[in-house]
Structure 1
Amino acid sequence: MVTGDRVQLRAIEPSDAETLWRWHSDPEVMRWMDAPYPPSLALTRKRLEERGPDSYGNLNLMIETLDGRTIGIVALREAEPEIGDAKLDIYLGEKDTWGQGYATDAMRTICRYGFGKMRLHRISLTAVAENEAARRVYEKVGFVEEGRMREAFRRDGKWHDKVIMGLLEDELR
C-alpha cells in the first residue's frame, strides 16, 4: 500500500468488481473517459479475476480514503525503464468526493511513487480540453500542457480537443 496525506493506494482485487462496474455505468463519472460502452458486471468480474499481476509497465491501483473507503482508481501504464517514461490515468468514481482534494493527493502520491520507486523521469497524460476540473488538479501537481490533439474525442455529437500534459521528476509540487 502506498500512502499519501489524504489517500492510500492499494492493489485492485476481484472484490472491487461491483464498485468498478457501478462507476463505469455512471454517465457523469465516465463523461470525459475513452470508454464508449459500459461493461456488464459479469465481464467486469471476469476481467478482474483473470488479470495478471501488476508490473513495472502496468500498475493499476485503487484510491482509498485513509479510513478505507474506495473512491477511485489510478494507473501508471506503458512505463518504460529504458527511457524513464509512463502514462498516468486517474478518476474518482465517488462523486461526493469530487472537489475535496482526494484526486490531487492521489496524483501526488502516485507521481512520488513513480519518480521514487520506479525511477521514472517523466509522466504524461491526456485530458479532454473542456474537463477543466481535471486539468486544474493536474496543474496543481505540476503538470504542464505540452501539446494539443485537435478534435480527438467525441462526446454527445461534438468533437473535443485533447491536451497532452507532462511532468518531470523535479517539477512535482
Structure 2
Amino acid sequence: MTDLPKPTYIIREATAVDAASMLAHLDVLRSEPGIHIITQPGESTFTVEDEQRFITTLNNADNSLFLVAVDSENTVIGALLFQGGDRRAVQHSTELSISVQREWRDQGVGTALLSRGIEWARSSDVVKRLELHVFAENARAIRVYEKLGFEVEGRLRHGVFREGQYHDQLVMSLLIDGDPL
C-alpha cells in the first residue's frame, strides 16, 4: 500500500483578491457544529466588497497582519489575523484570531500560521503584545498557544453564549521583547 501524498498549502499575506474565498471559508466554519468561533451562521453581513476593504485596511496598517493558508487551488483553508489597536495608547497591542478548516486540522497549518505571525510581530517596530480569547474547553488550541509562548492572563466566565449554552473564554497573551512599553 502506498502512502498518499500530503495535501500542500502555502501561507501568504491576504490580498483583496482573497475576499470571496475568505468569506466562503468563514461560512464553512460557522456551520460546523461545536466550532470555537463567536459568529454564528447568518450573523455576518460582510459582503465581498466589505471584506476587500477590510483586507486592504489591515494591509496598510503597521500594527496589523492578515495571513491566509491556501491550498493548491488558491482556496483559503486557514487564516490568521492580528488586528492592531487604532489609538496610540493601544497601537502596540494586537488582537489575534485564527481559523483552520476541519479537514486541514492536525496537519500543522495553525501552528505554521501562528509561527509566521509571531515572526512578523518580532520584526515589527510597533507590535509588543499579542492577545487572544480562546474557548476554555479548546484544549488543543490552548496547548498550541502555550507551546508558542502565550500565557493565560484570565478567564471570562460565561463570555460566550453559543448553541444554547454558555462558554468560558481564556484571555492569553504573548509579550514581544519583554514589557509592552
User: Normalised by the shorter chain, which TM-score bucket?
Assistant: 0.7 to 0.9
CA distance in 2, matches of 1:77, 1:29: 26
Moved over 6 A (4+): none
Question: For the structure 1 residues 125 and 100, does the alpha-carbon distance in structure 2 shift closer, same or farther, using more than 3 Å as the test?
Answer: same
CA distance in 2, matches of 1:29, 1:8: 26
- How far did residue 131 of structure 1 move? 1.5
Confirm or deny: 8 A CA contact 1:14 1:45 kept in the other structure: no
Confirm or deny: 8 A CA contact 2:11 2:67 kept in the other structure: no
CA distance in 2, matches of 1:70, 1:22: 6
- Tell me what 1:3 maps to: none
- Tell me what 1:8 maps to: 11
- How far did residue 62 of structure 1 move? 1.5
Confirm or deny: 8 A CA contact 1:8 1:65 kept in the other structure: no
When the two structures are aligned, how many residues end up with a matched partner? 164
Confirm or deny: 8 A CA contact 2:160 2:166 kept in the other structure: yes
- Tell me what 2:96 maps to: 88
> Which structure: larger Rg?
2
Q: Which runs of 5+ in 1 are unaligned?
A: 1-5
Taking structure 1 as the reference length, the TM-score comes to 0.77
Taking structure 2 as the reference length, the TM-score comes to 0.74
Question: For the structure 1 residues 39 and 22, does the alpha-carbon distance in structure 2 shift closer, same or farther, using more than 3 Å as the test?
Answer: farther
- How far did residue 108 of structure 1 move? 1.2
C-alpha distance after superposition, 1:64-103 (max 9, x if no partner):
36996632111111346655221111111x3221011111
3-state SS of paired residue (1:106): helix
Question: For the structure 1 residues 112 and 22, does the alpha-carbon distance in structure 2 shift closer, same or farther, using more than 3 Å as the test?
Answer: closer
Confirm or deny: 8 A CA contact 2:21 2:75 kept in the other structure: no
Over the residues paired in the alignment, what is the CA RMSD in angstroms? 3.0
Question: For the structure 1 residues 68 and 37, does the alpha-carbon distance in structure 2 shift closer, same or farther, using more than 3 Å as the test?
Answer: closer
Match of 2:81 among 71, 75, 80: 75
CA distance in 2, matches of 1:31, 1:24: 12
Confirm or deny: 8 A CA contact 1:21 1:39 kept in the other structure: no
C-alpha distance after superposition, 1:35-81 (max 9, x if no partner):
133368x9532323444432134432222369966321111113466
Q: Which runs of 5+ in 2 are unaligned?
A: 1-8
Confirm or deny: 8 A CA contact 2:25 2:77 kept in the other structure: no
Question: For the structure 1 residues 135 and 17, does the alpha-carbon distance in structure 2 shift closer, same or farther, using more than 3 Å as the test?
Answer: same
